[in-house]
Amino acid sequence: MTREMTGADMVIQTLKDQGVDTVFGYPGGAVLPIYDAIFQQNDIQHILVRHEQGAVHAAEGYARSTGKPGVVLVTSGPGATNAVTGLTDALLDSIPIIVLTGQVPTFMIGSDAFQEADTVGITRPCTKHNWLVKDTDELSGVLHEAFHVATSGRPGPVLVDIPKDVQFATGTYTIPKPSASHYQPPVKGDLESITELVAALEKAERPVFYTGGGVINSGPAASQLLRELVDATGIPITSTLMGLGAYPASGKHWLGMLGMHGLYEANMAMHGCDLMINIGARFDDRITGVLSSFSPNSTKAHIDIDPSSINKVIRVDIPIVGDVGHVLEDMLKIWKSRGRKTNAEALVSWTRQINEWRKVDCLKFADDKKVIKPQYALSRLEALTKKYDRYITTEVGQHQMWAAQFLNFEDPNRWMTSGGLGTMGYGFPASIGVQMAHPDALVVNVAGEASWLMNMQELGTAAQYKLPVKQFILNNERLGMVRQWQELLHGSRYSQSWSEALPDFVKLAEAFGAKGIICSDPADLDDAIMEMIEHDGPVVFDCLVTKHENCFPMIPSGKAHNEMLLGEADTEGAIQAGGAVLV
């Protein structure tokens, strides 16, 4: 099918043909023709954010909660530069988003025109790929290719820069087949290596599954296959921050999250295992601790769709390049056809050992009758919201780690957090994107007061579109995670980690026409949370919590998995000079 139309109409037509229903954006001079085309149609809803960074995080939230790519439309120059943090965030977390930017007309490129920026130059290192389209006849091909690239292989953000004259001019609209693209990352894993992995699994005495965001990105079928494999083999499973929900937290073999603030049993299992099966994770430094003593006695298998993830930081013995879903399917098939064997006897004593570790009860905390402990707030939030159709986003800091520890995820795509980049200001706009995709769901952003202020302007967006997003702010009046590091590493010299001059969050909410709730007494907390849940509209919940609480367990920088700090008593001199230089 080919048709003549303007570049601006091609943008709309491509979005329709790609099944896009929502675009997050902000207009400006260089995208006016596209906004004019948006005005003249009703198929695609445009959500007007209050800052372009918010648009990108909202698109990320939309993408992560649906499995579909998120779409952003912004203007040239400052519109594009404001999108850079979101693009980098999506790149590090492998989130498929398509960002469309306006550009000055082709004949003005290079002249330092008003609102001109070298957008493809600036975003080259923070996109999976980007394009500057100089000819309307090429626009539809590039736009469709952009969707193909963003969503195939390891997903990621892409950007298409469209000069204003290209939007105005008329050209031929075509829909290229994805199969015509030379970019065709293979999805099937090498069967020989998968068989080698199955053979290792059958013999392993202390195996562990270490899963990550790749399972979620692979789609719901991958999570289903993972559950089947774990439950059939009885092998314990842990996950990175990015992978929570792929295996249910209520599942029998669930160890909890691993890593710097992961659970004792999860990290100890990683340290002591003899077979580590990494499925869609990338041996991130938040996970491994010091490399020289990372899981010293294990055979390591790694399933990843991106060959560059393999052997990047940790040398593995059984590398398998492929899509998690495809590889798990083959793995299950091979395992069943070989007679469903496991080293049952050894697994019994491995499970016994793990149960010993569980008894440490590493998430226990000293409760307080007078002040709300952040851990208490989150366990109440968990108890009161778990029966809802619930989605959680977070900001970045201590609250994020406590949320990962104290909230339980039963399904994939329910947990949206900035893992790789650790972007404060992510959670609020992300919650808006999630709510757009799931209008009837309960969407809660677990926030810190400092992070939340970074994109609080999006309260205008939530109010305008009547999005009932719940902003659950654990307000410790501190840049808590920074303060914790200063306490442990810099002699409690709290340099600039105070949140001073905080707003009255209730009044702030009301100023935007939203509801504000403040709570400081543990006895009132349940009622206040219920009030938040039951309010039909956006809520800003100011939950005043302990100011100097530290987040445990913690693997200090430069230490190994079996050297976790479990509480205040362990912190004395915990991090020596060598670790202090690490982030």
Partner 1 sequence: MSALHIKKGSTRHSAYNLRPTFSDVQERHTLAVLVENEPGVLARVIGLFSGRGYNIESLTVAEVDHTGHLSRITIVTKGTPQVIEQIKAQLGRIIPVHDVHDLTVEGPAVERELAIFKVAGEGDKRVEALRLADIFRANVVDSTLNSFIFEITGAPDKIDAFADLMRPLGLVEVARTGVAALLRGD
Ligand X SMILES: Cc1ncc(C[n+]2csc(CCOP(=O)(O)OP(=O)(O)O)c2C)c(N)n1
Point out the residues that are catalytic: 52, 114-115, 164, 481
Is residue 451 within the footprint of ligand X (CB under 6 A)?
Answer: yes
- Other CB atoms closer than 10 Å to residue 230's CB: what's the count? 21
- Counted residue by residue, the chain has a size of 583
> Nearest residue by C-beta to ligand X?
448
155 binds, among partner 1, ligand X, Mg ion, none (CB under 5 to 8 A by kind): none
Residue located via tokens 């957090």? 417
Is residue 310 within the footprint of partner 1 (CB under 8 A)?
Answer: yes
Q: 81 or 342, CB closer to partner 1?
A: 81
The least distance separating ligand X from the CB of residue 317, rounded to whole angstroms, comes to: 35
Residues 56-95 that bind ligand X (CB under 6 A): none
Residue located via tokens 């709730």? 517
- How would you classify the pairing of strands 390-394 and 415-416? parallel
Tokens of 372: 């709300």
Is residue 563 within the footprint of partner 1 (CB under 8 A)?
Answer: no
Asked if 525 and 472 count as a contact pair (C-beta separation under 8 A), the reply is: no
The least distance separating Mg ion from the CB of residue 386, rounded to whole angstroms, comes to: 25
Q: 189 or 480, CB closer to ligand X?
A: 480
Is residue 449 within the footprint of ligand X (CB under 6 A)?
Answer: yes
Q: 325 or 448, CB closer to Mg ion?
A: 448
Q: 116 or 549, CB closer to partner 1?
A: 116
Residues 407-466 that bind partner 1 (CB under 8 A): none
Choice from 44, 106, 122, 129 touching partner 1 (CB under 8 A): 129
Choice from 142, 260, 479, 565 touching ligand X (CB under 6 A): 479
- Rounded to whole angstroms, how far apart are CA atoms 253 and 231? 7
213 binds, among ligand X, partner 1, Mg ion, none (CB under 5 to 8 A by kind): none
Residues 426-485 that bind Mg ion (CB under 5 A): 448-450, 476, 478, 480
Stretch that binds partner 1, among 69-77, 117-125, 236-244, 334-342 (CB under 8 A): 117-125
User: What sections of 135-218 are H helices per DSSP?
Assistant: 136-151, 164-168, 191-203, 213-218
Choice from 54, 397, 433, 538 touching ligand X (CB under 6 A): 397
Tokens of 123: 């975003």
- Rounded to whole angstroms, how far apart are CA atoms 414 and 425? 19
Q: Which string of DSSP letters, residue by residue, matches 217-246?
A: HH-HHHHHHHHHHHHHHT--EEE-GGGTTS
- How would you classify the pairing of strands 22-26 and 70-74? parallel
Asked if 160 and 194 count as a contact pair (C-beta separation under 8 A), the reply is: no
The least distance separating ligand X from the CB of residue 507, rounded to whole angstroms, comes to: 19
Choice from 185, 220, 248, 422 touching ligand X (CB under 6 A): 422
Tokens of 127: 């996109």
The least distance separating ligand X from the CB of residue 551, rounded to whole angstroms, comes to: 8
Asked if 382 and 406 count as a contact pair (C-beta separation under 8 A), the reply is: yes
The least distance separating ligand X from the CB of residue 487, rounded to whole angstroms, comes to: 12
Tokens of 240: 């990175």
Asked if 428 and 460 count as a contact pair (C-beta separation under 8 A), the reply is: no
Is residue 349 within the footprint of partner 1 (CB under 8 A)?
Answer: no
* Three-state secondary structure call for residue 158: strand
Which residues are 161's β-sheet partners?
Answer: 101, 132
Comparing C-alpha atoms, which of 244, 309, 261 is closest to residue 283? 309
Is residue 296 within the footprint of partner 1 (CB under 8 A)?
Answer: no
Asked if 25 and 73 count as a contact pair (C-beta separation under 8 A), the reply is: yes
- Rounded to whole angstroms, how far apart are CA atoms 21 and 284? 34
The least distance separating Mg ion from the CB of residue 435, rounded to whole angstroms, comes to: 24
Is residue 315 within the footprint of partner 1 (CB under 8 A)?
Answer: yes
The least distance separating ligand X from the CB of residue 398, rounded to whole angstroms, comes to: 4
- Positions touching ligand X (CB under 6 A) are 395-399, 422-425, 448-451, 474, 476, 478-482
- Positions touching partner 1 (CB under 8 A) are 120-121, 124-125, 128-129, 132, 149, 154, 182-186, 190, 192-193, 306-308, 310-312, 315, 319, 321
